[in-house]
Amino acid sequence: MSASSNSDGNNEMVVTPWEVKGKVDYERLIREFGTQPLTPELLAKVETRTGKLHMQIERRIFFSHRDLDTVLNLYEKGIKFVLYTGRGPSGPVHIGHLVPWIFTRHLQEKFKTRLYFQVTDDEKFIIDDDSTLPETKHWAYENALDLIALGFKPDDTFIIYDVQDMDLLYDVALEVAKRITYSTARSTFGFQDSTNIGWVFWPAIQAVPCFLHKKLTGENVPALIPAAIDQDPYWRVTRDIAQKLGYYKPAQIHCRFLPGLAAGGKMSASIPESSIFTMDPPQVVKKKIWNAFTGGKGTAAEQRKLGADPTVCSIFQYYFYLFEEDNAKLSERERKCRGGEMLCGECKVDIVAKLNKFLETHRERREKAKDTIEQYHIKRK
Ligand code: TRP
């Protein structure tokens, strides 16, 4: 199942909707997937609409796109867009999942636009041999709480739970499925003889929220999808057939993956120590951070003398992606790290405090979301 490269060798990059492995080369993904880099001109255009750029786009955590320029040009002409993103509920949410959702909330606020959020309990059931429908349904609910906790507005946020809401999606999914050949799907997703047939139809379902707004409101507007770049194969097949069905091609803005805490930035659901989950209690957070891979030296004396390397440090990435919004403070931290002025212990103490403060607030909001979750359900609108 390889959309990007093969999985030979240890550090060989693999980026597919089901697997992200090895050292990710984002420039190469832009070339191989055929997406566009975010240029300074395009960022300037975004800035005229949003005011000060969100740090995730300023720092190129969102680094690539398709048709973002088109969507902004249409917006200037008075044609709005809707936002669309989603989550495959295979287990608990970690803070890497929050990265694109935080940016999506920013876009929703600045462009005052609707978000469709697809929770794919069907997809995770089909793809993961060991999962059951009650399990993926359970995680769908739990994961939606994490989304709501980030502050999305109920009036403008439409959560879709695929299995429950399939009656809303099915006619559009059929229109899509009819126009994608098996040959295209197989070459895009790498289906094998042993692939179950649910998987073959599945891409049609992920395409539906790109087009659903017209069915619900009569308005034909494009969708803009903020998501990690591994989802791009879905959008390639969807873009191919959009205009045949009378819709705009969905636009994308792609983000990087928050590196994990293990050496080489590895993060994997099967290695819980490599990421911080939103439900991790403070002591667990502390322990994970304490064991995290950094760019430090073997001894404190050596590090004071030679300095450390923030570019390979998983903790520095946490500041960069999420926990240090102030550019000047981030540079100062980097300078002190390189110069051996600040050692890893100090940096870790700081991040544990920031993480636990963030998670405490997040969990309070998440708890409150249990009372409001129905207001977000697409069927209640
Ligand atoms: N396939 C995605 C996953 O496994 C879930 C998803 C559905 C999604 N629609 C999306 C993700 C739109 C991003 C954008 O996580």
**What are the DSSP E strand ranges found in the chain?**
14-16, 19-21, 36-37, 62-66, 82-87, 115-119, 157-161, 223-228, 251-255
pLDDT at 262: 86
pLDDT at 23: 86
pLDDT at 21: 85
Nearest CA to ligand 1 atom 14: 85
Are 133 and 163 contacting, i.e. CB atoms less than 8 angstroms apart? yes
Are 121 and 89 contacting, i.e. CB atoms less than 8 angstroms apart? yes
In Å, how far from its chain's centre is CA 45? 23
Ligand 1 close to Cβ of residue 162 (< 6 A): no
Testing ligand 1's pocket by substitution, the residue of 65, 119, 166, 231 carrying the most ligand atoms inside 8 A of its CB is 231
Within 8 A by CB and 6+ apart from 258, the residues are 95, 96, 99, 267, 275, 317, 318, 321, 322
Token digits of residue 198: 């649910």
pLDDT at 7: 43
pLDDT in tens, the chain (381 residues): 434 444 444 678 999 998 888 889 999 999 999 999 999 999 999 999 999 999 999 999 999 999 999 999 999 999 999 999 999 999 999 999 999 999 999 999 999 999 999 999 999 999 999 999 999 999 999 999 999 999 999 999 999 999 999 999 999 999 999 999 999 999 999 999 999 999 999 999 999 999 999 999 999 999 999 999 999 999 999 999 999 999 999 999 999 999 999 887 766 667 888 999 999 999 999 999 999 999 999 999 999 999 999 999 999 999 999 999 999 999 999 999 999 999 999 999 999 999 999 999 999 999 999 999 999 999 988
Are 254 and 20 contacting, i.e. CB atoms less than 8 angstroms apart? no
User: What's the gap in Å between 228 CA and the centre of ligand 1?
Assistant: 9
Spell out the SS3 assignment of 100-116: HHHHHHHHHHHHCCCEE
Angle, helices 40-50/68-76, rounded to nearest 10 degrees: 40
Calpha distance 284→287 (Å, rounded)? 5
pLDDT at 268: 67
Nearest CA to ligand 1 atom 10: 86
Ligand 1 close to Cβ of residue 120 (< 6 A): yes
Q: How many CB atoms lie within 10 A of CB 78?
A: 6
pLDDT at 10: 60
Q: Which ligand 1 atom minimizes the distance to the CA of 124?
A: 4
pTM comes to: 0.95
Question: Is residue 191 classed as helix, strand or coil in its secondary structure?
Answer: coil
Nearest CA to ligand 1 atom 7: 86
Nearest CA to ligand 1 atom 11: 86
C-alpha closest to that of 277 among 147, 97, 122, 155: 97
pLDDT at 3: 42
Ligand 1 close to Cβ of residue 118 (< 6 A): yes
User: What's the gap in Å between 334 CA and the centre of ligand 1?
Assistant: 34
Ligand 1 close to Cβ of residue 87 (< 6 A): yes
Ligand 1 close to Cβ of residue 252 (< 6 A): no
Calpha distance 333→171 (Å, rounded)? 53
Q: Which ligand 1 atom minimizes the distance to the CA of 227?
A: 13
Q: How many CB atoms lie within 10 A of CB 238?
A: 25
Our CA angle for 223, 50, 251, nearest 5°, is 20
Token digits of residue 67: 């048709």
Ligand 1 close to Cβ of residue 250 (< 6 A): no
C-alpha closest to that of 251 among 226, 220, 214: 226
pLDDT at 82: 98
